[in-house]
Chain A
Amino acid sequence: DSGVTQTPKHLITATGQRVTLRCSPRSGDLSVYWYQQSLDQGLQFLIQYYNGEERAKGNILERFSAQQFPDLHSELNLSSLELGDSALYFCASSGWTQGYTFGSGTRLTVV
């Protein structure tokens, strides 16, 4: 157990629907990062939150949004889902200068 908890582990939904992915960071880590990993693709950075505020943004689609709550857990909201959104979504957390600790990911399948 890495200490980063992601739920759900698997999600199957239809095109056009909206889903919410949840992440609880490792104890003491203030920053949360979301990544998308499609088949045969690398880890694509989506967005970073630090202590409740957005800190950096990657190539995140307008249909996607995220937030970090006062208890530091984070949610990634994906709406108007398309087949191409099917991917593994990873959350990671970090301290000041450490490397990331990743969760086990949420596998999203859009049918």
Chain B
Amino acid sequence: QKEVEQDPGPLSVPEGAIVSLNCTYSNSAFQYFMWYRQYSRKGPELLMYTYSSGNKEDGRFTAQVDKSSKYISLFIRDSQPSDSATYLCAMRKSGGYQKVTFGIGTKLQVIP
């Protein structure tokens, strides 16, 4: 069993829809949770970075972490065609310079 599970999709939604992406994990030692966006053949870029359980909002993006269920989510409101990309969840343990473990990524297509 992988430490981080993520549905690879693809997920197609119409422009303006609310998108829900999620991951589950098995290692309770994970304390920091991230979402990266990766456009085709480009390097992943950090979208959201959260610590422990709770919600974090940044513009149209909201990240949620439920450590009791080992479940994290990313919501995208008013989705745009420019949001079409692969979204990778990621997480790491506490302490400095810890290795990050990634999900496989969910490919999202927002259709105009």
Q: Which residues of chain A have a CB within 8 Å of any CB of chain B?
A: 2, 4, 30-31, 33, 35, 40-43, 45, 48, 50, 55-56, 58, 88, 90, 94, 96-105, 107
Q: A97-B32, A99-B49, A105-B42 are known contacts. Are A45 and B97 too (CB-CB below 8 A)? A: no
Q: A97-B32, A98-B49 are known contacts. Are A90 and B43 too (CB-CB below 8 A)? A: yes
Query: In the complex, which of the residues B36, B49, B101, B103 contacts A45, with contact meaning CB atoms closer than 8 Å?
Result: B101
Q: Is the CB of A48 within 8 A of B99?
A: yes
B contacts with A: majority SS: loop
Among B41, B96, B97, B99, the most chain A Cβ lie within 10 Å of the Cβ of B97
**10 closest residue pairs by CB, A with B:** A102-B43, A42-B104, A31-B97, A43-B102, A96-B96, A99-B46, A99-B34, A104-B43, A99-B49, A56-B99
Q: Is the CB of B41 within 8 A of A88?
A: yes
Contact residues in B for A2 (Cβ distance below 8 Å): 43, 45
Q: Chain B's nearest CB lies how many Å from the CB of A59? A: 12
Contact residues in A for B45 (Cβ distance below 8 Å): 2, 102
